[in-house]
Structure 1
Amino acid sequence: MSINTTSLKNFLTIALQYVYPHHLVCRLLSFLAHLENEAWKDYMVKRFGKRYKVNTKEAISRNLKRYPSFNSFFTRELKPGARPITELECGVASPADGTVSQAGKISDGELIQAKGKNYTVAALLGGEEQRTDNFKEGMFTTIYLSPRDYHRIHMPFNGVLQETVHIPGRLFSFDQATVNAMPNLYAKNERVVSFFDTEAGPMALVMVGSIFSSSIETVWDGIVTPPSYSEIRRWNYPYNPPSAKKGEEIGRFNRGSTVILLFAKGAVEWESTMISGNAVKMGALIGKVIS
């Protein structure tokens, strides 16, 4: 494919998504996904499982009758031991199943989205200077969850929750063409940011919605979105803040999407396996805290 043809294809991919009614489609998908109709649910689960080759052997229940809706199947719980959590005390566990999109250092407050495409920590985290400064020269990794992946999100390292931020936005796709071509993609999409204090210092975990992601949910606040809002919302926990140990469930995507994990400067180093395109499993060792 020539450069001009590639550029035209990328332009059309982005242009069409700008006029796409993201939130309307997601509301419709959410309704269908939560519909408790056995015939519909069985049809969707079987079609989805076949198309994406979903490994149902890992699920705590392989009996489709146990799932009242397609969404309950999509966010299915796994059998105990299906995802061993790294036992290394200084180890950082992968928060999700998925594919490494990027991993590396945050340079001058910028993260890598794709080759030749950067975006800022400030834009990603909602622009609050005090929070942003913690990560300006830190470390980050971006993990993409495909439809076939396990969609519950787990704690990478022991920590105490300080703040949750819901940042409204669009729901652009995370297909490779869009990631490569659309500027500031992760800072454009709707997302939920959780800020933690850990023994390794400040840590931020960002759950980013996408074109078919109907909702983002956390253990401590329940469903954060939908509905969608026009302004940034913040939750603080001055009294008895929630805490989570490494490997504990902290949230889930009801279809979608991408997780971005950030640590402060000098806090962690990523494993050599954290290379763009490599698969990771929740709980696996992805980095080590620098003592």
Structure 2
Amino acid sequence: MAKPIFRLMTELSSRKSISRITGAFAKSKASRRLIPWFAKTYGIPVQDAEKQVRDYQSLNEFFTRRLKPGLRPIDQGTDVLVSPVDSLITGFGRIQEGLMLQVKGQDYTVEELLNQSPRTVSYKNGFFMVLYLSPTDYHRIHSPVAGRILEKEHIPGRVYPVNDFGLLHMKRVLSRNERLVTYVQHEYGELAVVKVGAMNVSSIQYVSPLPDQLERGGDLAYFEFGSTVVLLFESGTFDPLPGVGLGSKIKMGQALGLLHTKSE
């Protein structure tokens, strides 16, 4: 009985109007009083932040904080793809004829995730990773590769939670929530960085100014409160490193796999 009731409550609170209200408060100076409580509750290592806690003017500013220089070294290996975020891998595997199988017990199509983009065909038999950011994590998003931005798309949607409950008990959350998709051309092909909004997320923002040419580990975007990034790799261009897989806890800049010339 509890799960259907919680699903109903989640449906009612998943509208953008609710997120706008909570987002407006999080950006207000009044919210700064909650920063010490928020940091303690979620075990956030405040010593890693670029500034002292008292110097942040709102909860949102603290949440989207930068880290001290050098805390997330970018792997410099040849042809390496690095993690764009601090996260937990909650989905991982080969895309099979356009299907991403068993993401918390549900199957997704690349077509619905990318909003029927013509670029979908490039990922039909590629690889995918679902990277979940908890409130504890650093919430800025970096480029996983050096490359050129080919296209950007904002896909309006709901703001269901993307935690375990949301992914397990709400229908196809990743492809129903608001998304910001960045297609990047790298040396060996193309990849899609799909930023998925979540409950109480007021927005997903690109950094400003956003360069057309990205550096590996360079600034790309940030979440205003927690969410998920889905990486889609063009068919035949990516292999994960041993030890990287479902359930891995990873840091931004960590090597996730190797890019290579397309193989059919």
- Alignment TM class, shorter chain as reference: over 0.9
* Corresponding residue number in structure 2 for 1:157: 145
* Corresponding residue number in structure 2 for 1:124: 113
What is the RMSD computed on CA atoms of the aligned residues?
A: 1.7
* Corresponding residue number in structure 1 for 2:169: 181
Q: Does 1:54 align with 2:44?
A: yes
Report the Cα distance in structure 1 between the residues aligned to 2:186 and 2:14, rounded to whole angstroms: 39
**Pick aligned residue for 1:92 from 78, 81, 84:** 81
Deviations for 1:81-100, whole angstroms, at most 9, x for unmatched residues? Answer: 10010110211100000111
**Where does structure 1 differ by over 4 angstroms across 4 or more consecutive aligned residues?**
none
Q: CA deviation at 1:58?
A: 1.2
Report the Cα distance in structure 2 between the residues aligned to 1:112 and 1:185, rounded to whole angstroms: 14
In structure 2, the CA distance between the partners of 1:220 and 1:107, relative to structure 1 (3 Å rule), is farther
Q: CA deviation at 1:219?
A: 2.2
Q: CA deviation at 1:249?
A: 0.7
Q: Does 1:111 align with 2:92?
A: no
Any conservation in 2 of the 1:113–1:179 contact (CA below 8 Å)? no
SS of alignment partner, residue 183 of structure 1? coil
* Corresponding residue number in structure 1 for 2:197: 209
SS of alignment partner, residue 46 of structure 1? helix
Count of residue pairs brought into register by the alignment:
261
Q: TM-score, normalised on structure 1?
A: 0.85
* Corresponding residue number in structure 2 for 1:44: 34
Q: CA deviation at 1:68?
A: 1.5
* Corresponding residue number in structure 1 for 2:251: 281
* Corresponding residue number in structure 2 for 1:226: none
**Pick aligned residue for 1:269 from 224, 236, 239:** 239
Q: CA deviation at 1:117?
A: 1.0
Question: Percent identity among equivalent residues?
Answer: 34
In structure 2, the CA distance between the partners of 1:202 and 1:192, relative to structure 1 (3 Å rule), is same
Q: Does 1:78 align with 2:72?
A: no
Deviations for 1:201-255, whole angstroms, at most 9, x for unmatched residues? Answer: 0110000000121110012578xxxxxxxxxxxxxxxxxx701010001000011
Compare 20-29 and 49-58 and name the one that shifted more. 20-29
Deviations for 1:148-199, whole angstroms, at most 9, x for unmatched residues? Answer: 1000000001110011101111111112122123332100000100111111
Q: CA deviation at 1:10?
A: 4.0
* Corresponding residue number in structure 2 for 1:193: 181
Q: TM-score, normalised on structure 2?
A: 0.93
Any conservation in 1 of the 2:91–2:130 contact (CA below 8 Å)? yes
* Corresponding residue number in structure 2 for 1:134: 122
SS of alignment partner, residue 134 of structure 1? helix
Report the Cα distance in structure 2 between the residues aligned to 1:17 and 1:115, rounded to whole angstroms: 18
In structure 2, the CA distance between the partners of 1:68 and 1:220, relative to structure 1 (3 Å rule), is closer
Q: CA deviation at 1:138?
A: 0.4
Unaligned runs of at least 5 residues, structure 2: none
Compare 25-34 and 188-197 and name the one that shifted more. 25-34
